């Protein structure tokens, strides 16, 4: 029966509704956020690489988190911006759609794995400070980064493959600004209930597995901090984990809203709002979260700017 259907070979993305003036305002807003996101993360990465005072596991992991943030937002935002300028060009081939979805999901999964690793790093720093350099040595850090990336890219092969084994014959129009899986399932002419349920279970499994080390680590961290008698000791311990904890709350909060729902074909408006949170707002906020309350980084960045000024002056 399905053999009589012709599956779509390309999709037209509706993007954002509204007049040309509204589209220009949205373009200017999202372009500014995207530019600040990329520049902020790049500045953080360069500062960490150049300054010897920041050569520690915490900044090593934060640097990789910045790389992931740049890549995640770049999977969809440039195409979205182009579509806001020229709506008629929002056409994506089936192959490009699969590639975009795979990269977005894989990078997002790698980021969740990395946040779990960073939680363990915070635990070791607070609860076992004397053994920190031995446990979190350079070899261990490199290996956990490699494992995080590999797990992210391997875990999303089957979900994306299963999605694109469906036949898309209801429509070639996706009511979204990027190749959203929920919209793909919506335009499929097959019964996607079982596929949606399996994808939901996989999303739950990935999020819970990456969240377990975070929950366990912070349980021990809070228990250790509460035993510290001095207020200055409390502040120092909390500052060690403050940036990571804020990223965890924002990152996992977005995932819970976006992925952990049995019905993937959610309302397009809901998916677009949460997608903007994941692809635009969170990557924009993270560089500020990493730096604003990080005295060590601010000092290193200030020293770097002074050095650049001296070089330009001479």
Residue 1 included in any domain? no
Tens digits of pLDDT across the chain (314 residues): 444 555 678 899 888 877 888 889 999 999 999 999 999 899 889 888 887 777 888 889 988 989 999 999 999 999 999 988 887 768 899 999 999 999 999 999 999 899 899 889 888 988 888 898 899 999 999 999 999 999 999 999 999 999 999 888 888 888 888 998 888 988 888 888 888 888 888 888 888 888 899 889 888 888 888 777 776 666 666 666 767 777 777 777 766 665 555 454 455 566 787 788 888 888 888 888 777 666 677 777 777 777 776 777 76
- Tell me the whole-structure pTM to 2 decimals: 0.87
As for how many domains the chain has, the answer is 1
- One-character DSSP codes across 132-156: HHHHT-HHHHHHHHHHHHHHHHHHT
Phi-psi region of 15 (alpha: psi -120 to 50; beta: other; left: phi over 0): left
**Chain centre distance of CA 165:** 26
Residue 25, domain CATH: 1.20.1070.10
Burial of 119 (C-beta count, 10 Å sphere; 0-12/13-18/19+): buried
Cβ neighbors of 268 (< 8 A, separation 6 or more) are 175, 176, 183
**Chain centre distance of CA 243:** 15
Residue 227 included in any domain? yes
Residue 239 included in any domain? yes
Residue 2 included in any domain? no
**Contact, 181 vs 163, CB < 8 A?**
yes
**Contact, 144 vs 243, CB < 8 A?**
no
For residue 120, give both structure tokens: 């363990």
- CA of 282: how far to CAs of 30, 225, 286, 287, 297, in Å? 13, 28, 6, 9, 20
Residue 304 included in any domain? yes
């Amino acid at each position: 029966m399905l053999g009589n259907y012709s599956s779509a070979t390309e999709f037209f993305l509706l993007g954002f509704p509204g007049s040309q003036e509204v589209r220009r305002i949205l373009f200017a807003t999202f372009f500014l956020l995207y530019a600040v996101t990329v520049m902020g993360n790049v500045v953080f990465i360069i500062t960490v690489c150049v300054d010897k005072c920041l050569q520690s596991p915490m900044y090593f992991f934060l640097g990789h988190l910045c790389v992931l943030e740049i890549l995640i937002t770049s999977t969809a935002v440039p195409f979205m911006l182009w579509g806001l300028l020229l709506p008629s060009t929002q056409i994506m081939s089936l192959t490009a759609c699969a590639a975009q979805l795979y990269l977005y999901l894989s990078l997002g999964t790698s980021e969740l794995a990395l946040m779990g690793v960073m939680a363990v790093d915070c635990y070791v720093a607070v609860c076992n400070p004397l053994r920190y350099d031995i446990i979190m040595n350079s070899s261990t850090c490199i290996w956990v980064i490699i494992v995080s990336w590999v797990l992210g890219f391997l875990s999303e092969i089957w979900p994306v493959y299963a999605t694109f084994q469906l036949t898309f014959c209801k429509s070639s129009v996706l009511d979204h600004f990027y190749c959203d899986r929920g919209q793909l399932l919506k335009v499929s002419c097959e019964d996607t209930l079982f596929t949606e349920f399996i994808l939901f279970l996989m999303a739950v499994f990935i999020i819970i597995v990456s969240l377990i080390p975070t929950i366990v680590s912070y349980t021990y961290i809070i228990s250790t901090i509460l035993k510290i008698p001095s207020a200055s000791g409390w502040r120092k311990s909390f500052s060690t984990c403050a940036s990571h904890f804020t990223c965890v709350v924002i990152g996992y909060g977005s995932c819970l809203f976006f992925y952990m729902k049995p019905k993937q074909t959610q309302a397009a408006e809901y998916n677009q709002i949460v997608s903007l949170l994941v692809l635009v707002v969170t990557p924009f906020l993270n560089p500020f979260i990493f730096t604003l309350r990080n005295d060590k980084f601010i000092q290193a960045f200030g020293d770097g700017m002074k050095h650049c000024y001296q070089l330009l002056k001479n």
